[in-house]
């Protein structure tokens, strides 16, 4: 990253412009859907900004890591979900093609487990976020097709949420006396309990339950996860900013401006579907933090200091 890019990234802490993640207000969809837009936020912005600019011959987006083209489940699923928003908005079926391409990719690129599930590994570990975003894609494909085979596929994806990290699942646990559980974006031990990844996982469970309520485990795991989130939220509050991850071996890692903004949008959305007031309270609190120049500068400095130490 060039010096100019670094300056630009830090400048948002001083002169906040339009938030990276935007909540959808007063949507008028041309398509009737039980699910609506993913997380109730604008993913289409990523399409407009050409965030996805490299693809393979099947139309699957790629990421460049250390100069090499790699497949990343989050990138792949988010591209499909961004196109879904365009489909809702326009009614044009061409925007559903990335959903089907992503579904095919997920079917071909997973790892079976010895407990009867399938997993989509992240960078160096299993990931509840990958499992959740896969469920969000499957849910939309099921809503469109009512293909019963997708029910069985979803059930296999869900299995990992029931299995501890030590046994090749994504169910982690905070290293505290409260023994709070967590759906881990990074399924490693000791844990780095990531807030945004937990929220993505919860949304996936919620969405598959909404279109296929016969998968009763999804509803139970979603409700359990919301309780875990409520218990753990105070640990993600530094008093003037949110924490990206709570580490079993402190220090914890402060959120960047982009992730702090994402926490606000995610918690607000989860409040809208659960009615759990504490989620709204923290979304509003994090919004208040973001409005303070002093808090933004402090967060930016802490983030730079943390990167220099790592």
How do the domains of the chain map onto residue ranges?
A: 237-310
Average pLDDT over every residue of 107-114: 97
User: What are the C-alpha distances in Å from 100 to residues 23, 41, 117, 121, 186?
Assistant: 26, 22, 21, 20, 27
Least confident of 5-19, 94-108, 292-306: 5-19
Taking 90 as the threshold, does the pLDDT of residue 1 lie above it? no
At 124, is the pLDDT very low, low, confident or very high (cuts 50, 70, 90)? Answer: confident
At 306, is the pLDDT very low, low, confident or very high (cuts 50, 70, 90)? Answer: confident
Reported for 53-59, long-range contacts at CB under 8 A and 24+ positions apart, including other chains, are: 58/101, 58/104, 58/105, 59/97, 59/98, 59/101
Mean per-residue pLDDT of the chain: 92
Token couple for 13 = 């802490």
At 17, is the pLDDT very low, low, confident or very high (cuts 50, 70, 90)? Answer: low
Q: What is the pLDDT of residues 210-229, one digit of tens each?
A: 999 999 999 999 999 999 99
Least confident of 144-148, 159-163, 306-310: 306-310
Of the chain, the percentage scoring pLDDT greater than 70 comes to 94
pTM of the complete model: 0.94
């Amino acid at each position: 990253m060039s010096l100019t890019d670094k300056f630009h990234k830090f400048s948002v802490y001083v002169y906040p412009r339009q938030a990276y993640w935007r909540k959808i207000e007063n949507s008028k969809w041309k398509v009737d859907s039980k699910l609506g837009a993913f997380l109730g936020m604008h993913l289409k912005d990523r399409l407009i900004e050409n965030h996805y600019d490299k693809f393979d011959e099947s139309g699957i987006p790629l990421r460049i890591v250390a100069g090499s083209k790699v497949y990343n489940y989050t990138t792949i699923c988010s591209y499909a979900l961004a196109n879904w928003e365009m489909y809702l908005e326009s009614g044009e079926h061409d925007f559903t093609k990335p959903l089907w391409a992503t579904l095919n990719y997920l079917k071909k690129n997973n790892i079976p487990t010895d407990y009867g599930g399938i997993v989509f590994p992240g960078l160096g570990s299993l990931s509840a976020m990958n499992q959740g975003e896969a469920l969000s894609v499957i849910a939309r494909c099921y809503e469109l097709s009512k293909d019963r085979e997708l029910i069985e596929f979803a059930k296999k994806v869900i299995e990992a949420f029931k299995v501890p990290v030590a046994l090749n699942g994504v169910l982690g646990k905070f290293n505290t006396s409260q023994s709070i559980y967590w759906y881990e974006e990074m399924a490693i031990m000791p844990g780095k309990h990531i807030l945004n990844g937990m929220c993505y996982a919860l949304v996936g469970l919620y969405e598959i339950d909404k279109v296929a309520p016969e998968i009763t485990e999804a509803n139970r795991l979603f409700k359990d996860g919301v309780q875990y989130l409520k218990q753990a939220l105070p640990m993600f509050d530094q008093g003037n900013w949110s924490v990206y991850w709570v580490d079993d071996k402190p220090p914890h890692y402060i959120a960047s401006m982009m992730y702090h903004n994402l926490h606000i949008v995610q918690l607000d959305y989860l409040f809208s579907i659960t009615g759990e007031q504490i989620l709204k309270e923290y979304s509003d609190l994090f919004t208040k933090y973001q409005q303070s120049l002093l808090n933004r500068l402090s967060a930016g400095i802490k983030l730079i200091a943390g990167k220099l130490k790592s």
